[in-house]
Amino acid sequence: MTPVRTALVGYGYWGVNLARNIALAASLDLVAVADADEARRAAAVRALPGIRTWATFEEVLADDDVEAVVLATPALMHEEMAVAVLESGRHVMVEKPLAMTPEGADRVVAWAEVAGRTAMVGHTFLYSPPVRELKGYIDRGDLGRVQYLYSQRLSLGKIRRDCNALWNFAPHDVSIILYLLGERPVTATATSLTYIQDGVADVFFATLKFPSGVGANVHVSWLDPRKTRLMTVVGDEKMAVYDDVSADQKIALFDAGVARSGSFGEYESMGEFQWKTRSGDILIPKITMTEPLLAEMEEFGRSCASGEPGLTDATHGRDVVKILYAIDRSAASGGTPVELAW
């Protein structure tokens, strides 16, 4: 497969990581970097000798050599820039979130279909080996029937001005939850707390309810003393904990649960009927780690070349945006549940 000639827009904190992995991906060829900051462009040239640089997004779209564009720009710019890339007949990879409203996400999806081009979103954790391992447990029934799960994505900083903690952190957790469960929620209920900047919430607690009866809770904050990247999945047979911060124990599988002590018919009254907890072995599986961002970039290139949708295509990104928007609306209304229609 001939590598897809790709330009990166935005060479900031995350753009540096993207550039490195685009350059490493066999399915992509990094041909240029665009950034308005002269110092960042100079840094790109030092890190990637021979790379072309531009100061503006317009220069990217004016170059006929560019076949695909990766956007690492502020969230508020994602929708318009992604549409502009697709309108120009190129493929696009957008860092999360895809857009800031469901309507904006719909627009990007529609333009990808009209243009016949690939549009993907940077939900990198879906390419993480521990998340894939956790997905395998659920799909094989190793945990039994999933009852509920919850995630915590906490840290002290980095404080954003262009979006709140929900839109900065929760796209990761919501995308993972959708991937693990294979279904979309029907209601979202949330509360938020704001301390630093008026109108920019620092902490969110959100609950999602799914058609199967599974419940999910998402807690995000950039005002927490410890960096936490934790997800717990509770099944009726076993339970699993995914700890992305851990160096050598990314997944722990607990042979634990709650079981009846006999059947109800064996007892004279409900008071005699007992539930017993069961606590068995804890398994720490060996997981071979690979760089998720590189796997994501490889899939983007393959999708551009083949036309086959990637795991984190624009439709998946639109679902995430719709859920985030519902959570934000619920929090803004003081916790009123918001129904999600699909």
List domains and CATH numbers for the chain: 4-123+292-312 (3.40.50.720)
Which residues make beta-bridge pairs with 203? Answer: 193, 221
- What is the structure's pLDDT at 268? 55
Nearest CA to 297 out of 78, 53, 65, 14 is that of 14
128 in Cβ contact with 209 (< 8 Å):
no
- What is the structure's pLDDT at 331? 98
- Cα–Cα distance measured from residue 23 to residue 297, given in angstroms and rounded to the nearest whole number: 9
- Cα–Cα distance measured from residue 78 to residue 13, given in angstroms and rounded to the nearest whole number: 17
pTM for this structure?
0.93
Close Cβ partners of 253 (under 8 Å, ≥ 6 residues apart) = 137, 142, 238, 239, 240, 282, 283, 284, 285
Nearest CA to 188 out of 171, 166, 168, 210 is that of 210
Nearest CA to 162 out of 230, 73, 238 is that of 73
Question: Which helix (H) or strand (E) segment is 207 a member of?
Answer: strand 203-209
Give, for all 342 residues of the chain, the pLDDT tens digit.
Answer: 899 999 999 999 999 999 999 999 999 999 999 999 999 999 999 999 999 999 999 999 999 999 999 999 999 999 999 999 999 999 999 999 999 999 999 999 999 999 999 999 999 999 999 999 999 999 999 999 999 999 999 999 889 988 999 999 999 999 999 999 999 999 999 999 999 999 999 999 999 999 999 999 999 999 999 999 999 999 999 999 999 999 999 999 999 877 655 555 555 555 555 566 767 789 999 999 999 999 999 999 999 999 999 999 999 999 999 999 999 999 999 999 999 999
- Cα–Cα distance measured from residue 132 to residue 122, given in angstroms and rounded to the nearest whole number: 16
Q: In 110-146, which positions are buried (b, 16+ CB within 10 angstroms) versus exposed (e)?
A: ebbeebebbbbbbbbbbbbbbbbbbbebbeeeebeeb
Token pair of 131 as six digits: 């998340």
Bond preceding residue 158 cis, omega within 30 of 0? yes
Instruction: Give the 3-state secondary structure of 49-104.
Output: CCCEEECCHHHHHHCCCCCEEEECCCHHHHHHHHHHHHHCCCEEEEECCCCCCHHH
Name the DSSP class of 308. P
Return the biggest CA–CA distance within the chain. 82
SS3 162: coil
Phi, psi angle pair for 280, to nearest 5°:
-115, -145
- What is the structure's pLDDT at 27? 98
End-to-end CA distance of the chain: 37
Catalogue the E-assigned strands of 157-202: 187-193
User: Cβ atoms within 10 A of the Cβ of 330, count?
Assistant: 22
- What is the structure's pLDDT at 158? 87
- Cα–Cα distance measured from residue 290 to residue 294, given in angstroms and rounded to the nearest whole number: 8
Token pair of 159 as six digits: 């404080």
Amino acid at 301: G
Tell me how far CA of residue 164 lies from CA of 101, 153, 195, 204, 255, in angstroms: 14, 14, 12, 9, 38
Catalogue the E-assigned strands of 210-250: 215-221, 223-235, 239-243
SS3 145: coil
- Cα torsion angle, 318, 319, 322, 323, sign: negative
